[in-house]
Amino acid sequence: MFTLGNFLTLSTFGESHGEAYGGIINNFPAGLEINFEEIQKQLDRRKPGQSSIVTQRKESDTVKFLSGIFDGKSTGTPIGFIVPNENQKSKDYDHISQYYRPSHADFTYDKKFGIRDYRGGGKSSARETLNWVIAGSLAKQLLPKGIKINAYVSSVGDIFCEKPYQDLDFSKIESNDVRCPDMETAEKMISRIKEIKKEGNTIGGTITCVLQNVPIGIGEPVFGKLQAELAKGMMNINAAKGFEYGSGFCGAKMTGAEHNDIFNEDGSTKTNLSGGIQGGISNGMDIYFRVAFKPIATLLRPQDSIDKEGNKVIVEGKGRHDPCVLPRAVPIVENLAAYILADLFLINKLRQL
């Protein structure tokens, strides 16, 4: 209950200004040589302070594995890990202990639990996602080597990467600060984010993720469809407002004659509006989906709000905040997708006698 994954389960803990984040992965198979550098590399892609268009907080975000690995290999027993928190400036949050920030979780946490760790958003902070990056990066190492999972920023505000993913060179994703592989669009996005930042404002956008060379058969018929598991995972990311795969919302405007993917003789399909999934199960074609992110709620300028007693107050973000969540969300989407895939991949191994 409230873990990520069905068989390969991840439990997590941690608050923004608590002692540490961390998690436990259960049912990870034994005998895998762990690539620790790769995990740290993925964490580094998510961490604050990496470029001028993200928050300038400095945290080393170093993962420490505490169990389940011996002599560099997984032992088949629970893998525990932590990431100690550093450099919290809890003072920056004293002023909000009695305030509710607009479009934040302050109000709902207080009402639900009657208590809340308000420092840095506490449990509602997106810092939780570093647990998912660690677990996802580890889980990815379980998957067949050929599988490729690439996410990129496909829009920032009204600036869209118009090219279909097939025309993009994924090796360029890391070559710019915004993580859009179309260099021209990337530049526009970066300018837009810088403008927005200057205004103390924030901006939304979308991420597209493509999973290639996924074996046929991943996903479960009912209540475990691959797209549903992906949707659930992605919609748990802070600020996510929408999910679509394959033809998505565009597909809703089409007719069956336009939308059906006709087979080639080898079982592949001529088109791929289905997005690589039929009946909840991967069909061997590329899986692709898109996630919408709203603009971050913390603005570095004054906004009207209320305090716990319902009195009017003015709130203004202090501290170090992202003007746009998208660049740092790319590794989150990618590694989360890897985790979900690995979970269903293991389960699928038991589907035939």
Binding test (CB under 8 A) with its own copies, winner from 245, 287, 288, 342? 245
- Choosing from 50, 303, 318, 319, the residue that interacts with its own copies (CB under 8 A) is 303
What residues from 25 to 54 belong to the interface with its own copies (CB under 8 A)? 26-27, 29-32
CA distance 273 to 188: 29
Do 170 and 181 form a contact (C-beta atoms < 8 A)? yes
How far from the centroid of its chain's Cα atoms is residue 147's Cα? 18
Residues belonging to the chain: 353
CA trace torsion 97, 101, 106, 108 (10° rounding): 140
Nearer residue to its own copies within complex by CB, 37 or 71: 71
319 part of the interface to its own copies, by CB under 8 A? no
Closer by beta carbon to its own copies, 91 or else 169: 91
Among 64, 91, 148, 163, binds its own copies (CB under 8 A): 64
Q: Which of residues 283-302 bind its own copies (CB under 8 A)?
A: 283, 292-299, 301
CB 213 within 8 A of CB 148: yes
Binding residues among 265-284 for its own copies as defined by CB under 8 A:
265-267, 269, 273-275, 277-283
Nearest-angstrom CA–CA distance, 263 and 54: 44
Binding mask 191-230 for its own copies (x = CB under 8 A): -----x--x-xxxxxx---------xx-xxxxxxx-xxxx
Q: At its nearest, how many Å lie between its own copies and the CB of residue 157? A: 6
Binding residues among 66-85 for its own copies as defined by CB under 8 A: 66-68, 70-71, 73-80, 82
Residue with tokens 């202990």: 97
Q: Are 149 and 334 in contact (CB under 8 A)?
A: yes
Positions in 145-184 near its own copies (CB under 8 A): 155, 157-158
Among 35, 51, 213, 348, binds its own copies (CB under 8 A): 348
Q: Please give the angle made by the CA atoms of 340, 343 and 349, to the nearest 5 degrees.
A: 135
Stretch of 36-44, 46-54, 170-178, 255-263 lying at the interface with its own copies (CB under 8 A): 255-263
Measured in degrees and rounded to the nearest 5, phi and psi for residue 212 equal -115, 150
Q: How far is the CB of 142 from its own copies (least distance, A)?
A: 7
Residues 113-152 that bind its own copies (CB under 8 A): 113-117, 122-124, 128, 142
Is 101 a known ligand-binding residue? no
Q: Is the Cβ of residue 2 or residue 164 nearer to its own copies in the bound state? A: 2
Kindly report the backbone phi and psi dihedral angles of residue 325, in degrees, each rounded to the nearest multiple of 5, phi listed first.
-75, -15
End-to-end Cα, the chain, rounded Å:
28
**320 annotated ligand binder:** yes
Minimum gap (Å) between residue 181 Cβ and its own copies: 19
DSSP string of 160-194, one letter each residue: E--S-GGGS-GGGGGGSTT--SSHHHHHHHHHHHH
